[in-house]
Structure 1
Amino acid sequence: MKTTARKMISALFISPQLCVIVLMALAVSPSANAVVAFGQEISIPRNTANGSILARHYITPSQVCGKSKCTVKKIIAFPNGGGGTSNAGVITTNVSGISTSLLINGRAYGNSTARVAFTQPIEVQLLGDGRENKGGSLAGGINISPYYYAIETEEYYSSFYIYLKGDITPIDGTCSVPSQTVKLPKTLIQRLERIGSTAGAQSFQIQVNNCPKGYNRIGYTLDPVGGVIENSPGVLPLAGGSTASGIKIRVENAQGTPATMGSSITVDGYSKAAGGSFVIPMQASYIRTDTVTTPGTVNGALNVFIDYR
């Protein structure tokens, strides 16, 4: 037996503090060729950095042109919901401190006559623009029922209109998520006998502290440093300092189910009337990911993003 097979594997799982504000909203369509983005009460921290994404709304190709693929031939952007147009990729809304952006295939558009085909949902974002968030209604003040974007496609005879609605409520303060290091116990490589085998589970908690009152919902999103590994739920890419191969770290919930990555999960127990601090029980373990393995150190890193609604 080779002596290297008896070496131990150590690991470092790192969860640094991050606070990125991301919101989701449902569509409420006022007509067959229009959509309302957001459209409900949205609570947002009063002071947000310029360019911070505060909310996201997705619109499918079938909503825009009635097909699975649309080709845009013209876009008109209306800052504040009317009273002029803009070529800028980010335009102001009717609420001080809040701007908006329309993204197709990941690119932001203002006025445009470029032909752009898309099969994935287009995205409307609410962004902090560096001004104080004073709250108010997103609905523009020029038209009776104002829209912020008009889109013409080759597939549909009429323009498609995007309205922004919803009341913005500024909240003083955000939650804090302290950084932490979780060290898995050393384990023998023989315990990871086949691909998918796990060993060395270590419990830990994500702490969400000092959340203020007033938000309708607080959520968290787990984002692996290095990106999500396709068809490997909960598995983290190897981080710097790793010397092992064929072995990674899998993050799981308290029941041992692989953690959901990239989607906002509600912080259980948060109350709009009370606020407070919360813990999210988790665990991490080694997982064999290849037929060939070598012992050594296994490191992974995970960002925790907090979102508010």
Structure 2
Amino acid sequence: MTPGKIIVPIVILALMGQAAEAACSFVKGHGLTTMQFDFPPTISVPRDAPNGTILYQTPTKNLQGVNSSYTCPSGYTYGIKNSLGTTTPGNNVFPIGNTGIAWQWIRVEINNAGARGYPNIDNRPSDTWGWNGTQHALRLIKIADTQGELQKIPSGIYGYYYFDSITPMAMSVTSSTSIVAQSCDTPDVTVDMGKHKLSSFPEYGSHATPVNFNIRVNNCPKGINKITYTLAPTPNSPAWNASLGIVNLNGSSTAKGLGLQILGDDQQPLELNKSYVLGESPAAGGNFNIPLTARYLRVLPTGNNGVLDYGLNAGTANADVWFIMNYL
């Protein structure tokens, strides 16, 4: 019997476990640092400031001696998580509840850029980073119109700077603040138009003697950059010709065929629903005066009988106009 060979197959089973993914980690002995910022008790801003207006920015903090260094692999995630509201990935605006105010984590040393919401991806090679020499500030901005004249902005942690799952840095405010809307006092104005004879209105477009009056803008605080005003018709006195500043008499009037026209102190018609800039600079605050003129005007087309035309009647002649202020 020919000796044979017995071949015994040896199967080596390699149990391959999935390697744990690398993630950001603190340098030994390092951890979270919380930066603390102060707000003044109140922050005054123009009442009608547009969305995106910067309301306040804290003084810059220059970090030195910070033990919050970390090591990250390529492809790590990073960004801010908002502690006061929603976080939108990649967005650098963080709402403060439903106040209409948001905050930003400003990296002053990076061209005053706002740090973006978590997560973002960084594909730089693995490395170790720290915070010494970096510069930071907290900025408040307006993002929506709000109800009321006062908004409370809280103290506490505003957000954390994440790198994967670790948080080397947090931003905190030590005291709450109130956002106060700046505005002026504008008392109602009643203009006595006097008595006029119907003979003052023999034809279409004829008008009575103008009556001068003033809109007072009182007790304006400092810091308002611009004040604009608009004259608008009311439901009781709708516009007859908006471009010429003419409104109809209101429903309680017994006079017919007439309207009321508003003019500037240069005797030029003020267009209704158009914004006009207060001529004086309001930045220093104080009291201001807007001189205007009003006059009755015949709006009934001319007929064959002059002041006896059908539809032209004497009587009470009252009108209402809204005066709308905007503070920017």
- TM-score normalized by the length of structure 1: 0.50
Higher relative contact order (CA 8 A, sep 6+): 1
Q: Which one has the largest radius of gyration?
A: 2
